[in-house]
């Protein structure tokens, strides 16, 4: 029930904050067919290089779906721009990303690059060919795009650009670089619509919340009973999140250190034909956990990303007895003896699996609110011992954390 309630709380927070921030002002825009711009908010995809349609909304209005037949293009506040182009006679007009515009405009669609020279749209062709030498077969990467670029850039800067063109790899940064040099060398105006993104972004994260610890006996006799006074404890966590991977935008990675302190009381009872025992202990247990998870963002709604994560957590535990007493009565004599000795013990170090469900609400370009539900299962972690009778417990830790990513 507590796990279910935590999931409901995370989901409620997700949708509440989304409804508040989804209509925030944005510098995204669409380009109408007459060339004018209308500003609003465009829902970004993870496959940000390719769009067959967009969802656009003006402030205070509901989003609407737009296709290439409806508009002339669109752009994002980060400078990325898409125009409607017909790349070949046999193709329909589509949204094509503009990387650099000028006398020679660099376009991209479905990870294929094109040059628009104002008259024609020319594909920059690259492909592998199977070849055989002395009976040995291999794949050779062919680069017809080198000759295409040499032809398109022929002029006063041919000699200066020759080596740069010859060394070009089939990727956006190389094409943008050589086309920028071409326009600068020829003293031609141009505009960049694509900035180089880092491989990933590393952000610190601070969070706090509550943990529920459920102890389940893995071994127990039928005439032994234990009861723990409470199961809810505060937890604090700091760490870093690697996210916005350039090649894998849905993936992220978390490395954190969490501290969990448990001030608790255990009451024990043991009944047999020979004796009757009761015991009480107040103990303080502290746990340092180092979880490492790989996360997959499965849905994006406006400014809210929801993700699931799997990984491992290294656990470092310590337990101290603050007060303990054992009351033992022998049935044969009726003599009662009191002992003052610790009842509890805990496994000091171990590694266990961890899973989590979370949401990131992007409040600004650098600040985000994070809500996470984490769960980890530990086998045979804790023991409660009476004379000649020991119970070993499995432990499940469920945590609800709220924090900030900077």
Percent of the chain with pLDDT over 90: 68
pLDDT at 26: 64
What is the per-residue DSSP string for 336-381? EEEE----EEE--EEEEEEEEEEEEEE-SSS-EEEEEEEEEEEEEE
Q: What's the rounded Cα separation, in Å, for the pair 87 and 403?
A: 47
Predicted confidence (pLDDT) at residue 230 exceeds the cutoff of 80:
yes
Supply the pLDDT for residue 121: 95
Average pLDDT of the residues of the chain: 89
Long-range contacts of range 364-369, CB-CB < 8 Å, 24 or more positions apart? 366/406, 367/404, 367/405, 367/406, 368/203, 368/404, 368/405, 369/17, 369/402, 369/403, 369/404, 369/405
User: Tell me, what's the pLDDT at 195?
Assistant: 76
Structure-model confidence comparison of residues 18 and 40, the more confident one: 40
Question: pLDDT grade, residue 1 (50/70/90)?
Answer: very low
Give the mean pLDDT of 63-84.
93
The tens digit of pLDDT for each residue in 173-198 reads: 999 999 999 999 999 999 999 877 78
Residue-wise pLDDT tens digits, 128-144: 888 777 778 778 888 99
User: Tens digit of pLDDT for each residue in 250-284?
Assistant: 999 999 999 999 999 999 999 988 889 999 999 99
What pLDDT digit, counting tens, does each position of 320-379 carry? 999 999 999 988 888 888 989 999 999 999 999 999 999 999 888 789 999 999 999 999
- The pLDDT score that the predictor gives to residue 48 is 60
pLDDT for residue 3? 46
Location of each CATH 2.40.160.20 domain in the chain: 201-405
What are the φ and ψ backbone dihedral angles of 251, each rounded to 5 degrees? -95, 150
357/295 Cα distance (integer angstroms): 9
Class for the domain spanning 201-405: mainly beta
| pLDDT (0 to 100) of residue 233 | 97
Residues 140-149: tens digit of each pLDDT: 888 999 999 9
**What span, in angstroms and rounded, lies between the C-alpha atoms of 241 and 294?**
10
Mean local confidence (pLDDT), 222-234 = 92
Q: What is the mean pLDDT of residues 159-169?
A: 93
At residue 135, the pLDDT reads 72
Report the pLDDT value the prediction gives residue 17, as an integer from 0 to 100: 46
CB 124 within 8 A of CB 148: yes
Residue 292 has pLDDT above 70, yes or no: yes
């Amino acid at each position: 029930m507590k796990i279910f309630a935590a999931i409901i709380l995370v989901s409620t927070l997700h949708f509440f904050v989304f409804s508040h921030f989804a209509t925030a002002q944005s510098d995204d825009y669409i380009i109408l067919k007459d060339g004018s711009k209308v500003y609003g908010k465009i829902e970004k995809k993870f496959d940000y290089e390719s769009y067959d349609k967009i969802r656009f909304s003006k402030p205070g209005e509901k989003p609407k779906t737009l296709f290439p037949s409806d508009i002339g293009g669109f752009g994002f506040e980060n400078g990325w721009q898409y125009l409607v182009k017909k790349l070949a006679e046999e193709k329909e007009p589509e949204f094509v990303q503009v990387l650099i515009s000028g006398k020679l405009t660099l376009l991209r669609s479905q990870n294929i690059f094109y040059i628009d020279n104002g008259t024609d749209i020319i594909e920059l062709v690259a492909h592998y060919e199977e070849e055989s030498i002395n009976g040995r077969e291999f794949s050779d990467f062919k680069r017809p795009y080198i000759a295409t670029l040499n032809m398109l850039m022929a002029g006063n800067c041919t000699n200066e650009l020759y080596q740069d063109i010859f060394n070009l790899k089939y990727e956006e940064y190389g094409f943008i670089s050589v086309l920028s040099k071409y326009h600068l060398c020829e003293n031609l105006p141009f505009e960049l619509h694509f900035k180089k993104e880092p491989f990933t972004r590393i952000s610190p994260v601070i969070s706090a919340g509550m943990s529920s610890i459920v102890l389940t006996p893995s071994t127990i006799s039928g005439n032994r009973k234990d009861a723990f006074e409470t199961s809810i404890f505060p937890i604090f966590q700091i760490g870093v999140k690697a996210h916005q991977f350039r090649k894998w935008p849905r993936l992220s990675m978390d490395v954190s250190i969490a501290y969990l302190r448990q001030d608790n009381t255990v009451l024990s009872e043991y009944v047999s034909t020979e004796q009757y025992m009761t015991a009480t202990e107040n103990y303080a247990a502290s746990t340092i956990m180092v979880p490492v998870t790989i996360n997959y963002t499965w849905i994006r709604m406006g400014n809210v990303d929801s993700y699931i994560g799997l990984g491992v957590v290294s656990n470092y535990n310590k337990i101290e007895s603050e007060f303990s007493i054992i009351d033992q009565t022998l049935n044969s004599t009726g003599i009662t003896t009191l002992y003052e000795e610790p009842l509890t013990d805990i496994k000091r170090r171990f590694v266990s699996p961890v899973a989590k469900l979370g949401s990131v609400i992007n409040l600004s370009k650098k600040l985000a609110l994070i809500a996470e539900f984490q769960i980890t299962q530990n086998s045979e972690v804790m023991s409660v011992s009476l004379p000649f009778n020991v119970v070993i417990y499995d432990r499940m830790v469920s945590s609800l954390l709220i924090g900030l990513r900077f």
